[in-house]
Amino acid sequence: MPDLPDRFRALDQLEVPDIDSRARALGSRPPTEPDGPSPKGRAAIIALAAIVALVGVGFVVQAFRGDRAGIPDRPQPAAPGVHELIAFSTIGNGVGGSKPTIGYSIAVVNADGSGFRYLTQASADAPDLTDDPLIQRYSFASDDSPTWSPDGSTIAFVRHYAEGVDSLCTIGVDGSDFRVVVRDFQGAELAWSPDGSTFAFYSERDGGVHLVNVAGTNERALDQRTSGPNQNTPSWSPDGRWIYFAARDVRAAHPDGSGLHDVFDPSWFVGSAYLSPDGSTIALQRLDTDPVTDGGSVWLVDATGSDLRRLTPDDGVTWSALGWSADASRVLLARPGPHDVPGLWTIGADGSGLAQVDLPRGVGPFGSAASWAPSG
Amino acid sequence: MTAEPRDAVEGVWRDQGAKLWRSLVAYTGDREAASDAMAEAFAQALGRGDALREPDRWIWRASFRIAAGELARRRRDAAAAPREVAGDMPEPVADLVRALATLSPNQRAAAILHLYADLPTHDVARILGCSQATVRVHVSQAKRRLRPLLEENDA
């Protein structure tokens, strides 16, 4: 059989129609869904977006929220032990898990598999289970990049709407108080600062680390870069004075961009890097030249860039680092499981106690990103 | 909109339009859905003007999300008549598109973007709104499922 890329090249036989004229017939359009609102309605949406941008969206969105009484499967108040929780994105609509869905939802679970619950329902398949009116307008969304507030009360995440515009959102860990903080947000891999004032994130605008105030104001680049490798997975030092990130190697800079320097510069590619909450150690993913075939492994290195040691087994499986437990004793991992279904795992920082986080039956597999609750 | 952003959007159309449309056909299994999603994405890109700093990435992302939204709408529409996937396509393409239709939407998108559009996993991750690790898993899953299906068609 020809190899798969050769099989895909059969697509080149398809004759491309005249889409240019179709796009021009639509004309220049502000972001809307294909069968979106009337011009009058669109004007109202634009006005709403302006209000949202100016005032900070929380209470505006609240105005759209329906009566929540009697809605089944609502997230319940956080159980004791909230600081054991892991927030993660997962495939599934959370309503029995019977329908395949395109997007991810944010859920929380304890490392021992207990306490699972969905926090978001980013699908119009469950129209009465979302507080976000934009879900209805744009059909579905996918929630990703969860990060915890320092006090463990709130989770921020990125909502990717079907029409291509994203939002930076927050929701209480008890499922209350959903807010859209930034309506048109171009970023991922959020990291909440230890003082609670700022998000660091990977920016779609220039591939670098950006910062934005938690109110959604004053977005700025950490490093005024014009080229070079993308800057991924920012994480904060416990005193908030440094931001570490992966950019093929591991780098760090002060939040004002000063003091930028290489922390660890190996001969291989660093896919992600997370500084431990105590500031002592970096968990990083090692990628080789072809990540699809060569997989990845997770390694630890001191925050000074010394004492590199392998953390995950040398088993040929693609391991990814996702973050740390609050006490820096364990590392959160992802790896494909049976039938390549991705799973969440934890491992001691000394390499002991490798264990999968067992999700309840019927819950979709782990999606793409996770974050362990802080100590509060 | 200044001339420069419009030129950039038109450059994406000129240089990547055919590849994008064919990718969307492979993703949706439907020429019309692909055309609609792509036209909408380009129209919105033109409307965003200076706000688009990387129009190519934005257009790819928006196109796939609009197409995904259309697939989600179809899935919800219980009254919709069943569609024949790839019924109007030449045989080698139809085989591939039918095989792709057996994958989950995320696996399908990741496989098309990586194996056909030749995008690196980092760019695929940005388009799909997930991590590189997830893209690698999706592509791996897609390869595993596609090989036996396509071998069966070859037999």
Of A138, A206, A292, the CB nearest to B69: A138
pLDDT at A136: 63
**Residue A11 DSSP symbol:** G
Kindly tell me if the per-residue pLDDT of A302 is higher than 80. yes
pLDDT at A328: 95
A375, two tokens: 């100590």
User: Nearest residue on chain A to B116, judged by CA atoms?
Assistant: A8
pLDDT at A347: 96
How far apart, in whole angstroms, are the C-alpha atoms of residue A178 and residue A63? 11
Kindly tell me if the per-residue pLDDT of B91 is higher than 90. no
3-state secondary structure of A29: coil
Kindly tell me if the per-residue pLDDT of A280 is higher than 70. yes
How sure is the predictor about B71, in pLDDT bands with cuts at 50, 70 and 90? confident
3-state secondary structure of A232: strand
pLDDT at A59: 28
B47, two tokens: 């409307």
Beta strand pairing status for A117-118 and A141-148? Answer: unpaired
For residue A77, give every residue at least 6 positions away whose Cβ sits within 8 Å of its Cβ, in sequence order, or none.
Answer: A174
Quick: pLDDT tens for B98-121. 888 877 788 899 999 999 998 888
B134 neighbors B126 (Cβ within 8 angstroms): no
Phi-psi region of B62 (alpha: psi -120 to 50; beta: other; left: phi over 0): alpha
The average pLDDT across B129-140 equals 72
pLDDT at B89: 81
pLDDT at A202: 87
Kindly tell me if the per-residue pLDDT of A355 is higher than 50. yes
- The segment with the largest mean pLDDT, out of A26-35, A85-94, A302-311, B117-126, is A302-311
Quick: pLDDT tens for A85-140. 999 988 654 333 334 345 678 899 999 888 888 888 755 554 444 567 776 666 56
A161, two tokens: 């709407």
Radius of gyration of the CA atoms of chain B, in A: 16
Q: How many CA atoms lie within 13 A of A117 on its CB side?
A: 16
pLDDT at A354: 95
B72 neighbors A162 (Cβ within 8 angstroms): yes
pLDDT at B85: 60
How far apart, in whole angstroms, are the C-alpha atoms of residue A172 and residue A120? 10
Q: Sort out which chain A residues have CB atoms less than 8 A from B147's CB and list them.
A: 1, 4
How far apart, in whole angstroms, are the C-alpha atoms of residue A139 and residue A136? 5
pLDDT at A234: 96
Contact criterion met (CB < 8 Å) for B93 and A11: yes
Kindly tell me if the per-residue pLDDT of B82 is higher than 60. no
Look at residues A177, A181, A145, A178 and name the one whose alpha carbon lies nearest to residue A160: A145
Tell me the ipTM for this assembly: 0.85
pLDDT at A184: 80
B window 11-50, beta carbon within 8 A of A: 13, 17-18, 21-23, 25-26, 31, 35-44, 46-49
pLDDT at A164: 59
How sure is the predictor about A48, in pLDDT bands with cuts at 50, 70 and 90? very low
Radius of gyration of the CA atoms of chain A, in A: 21
**Residue A14 Cα, gap to closest chain B Cα (Å):** 7
Torsion sign (Cα): A143, A147, A149, A153: positive
User: Nearest residue on chain A to B20, judged by CA atoms?
Assistant: A16
3-state secondary structure of A354: coil
Q: Sort out which chain B residues have CB atoms less than 8 A from A19's CB and list them.
A: 17, 21, 35, 38-39, 42
How far apart, in whole angstroms, are the C-alpha atoms of residue A75 and residue A105? 13
How far apart, in whole angstroms, are the C-alpha atoms of residue A124 and residue B146? 30
What structural domains and CATH numbers belong to chain A?
A: 1-26+38-73 (no CATH), 85-372 (2.120.10.30)
Per-chain mean pLDDT for chain A: 76
**Residue B116 DSSP symbol:** I
Beta bridge partners of A160: A142, A166
How sure is the predictor about A2, in pLDDT bands with cuts at 50, 70 and 90? low
Kindly tell me if the per-residue pLDDT of A1 is higher than 60. no
The residue written with tokens 């989600």 in the block is: B72
Look at residues A23, A120, A141, A50 and name the one whose alpha carbon lies nearest to residue B69: A141
Helix (H) or strand (E) holding A202: strand A198-203
How sure is the predictor about A275, in pLDDT bands with cuts at 50, 70 and 90? very high
Quick: pLDDT tens for A164-196. 567 899 999 988 888 999 988 888 889 999 999
Residue type present at position A364: G
Show the beta-strand stretches assigned E in A61-194. Answer: 85-91, 104-110, 117-118, 141-148, 154-161, 166-172, 179-182, 187-192
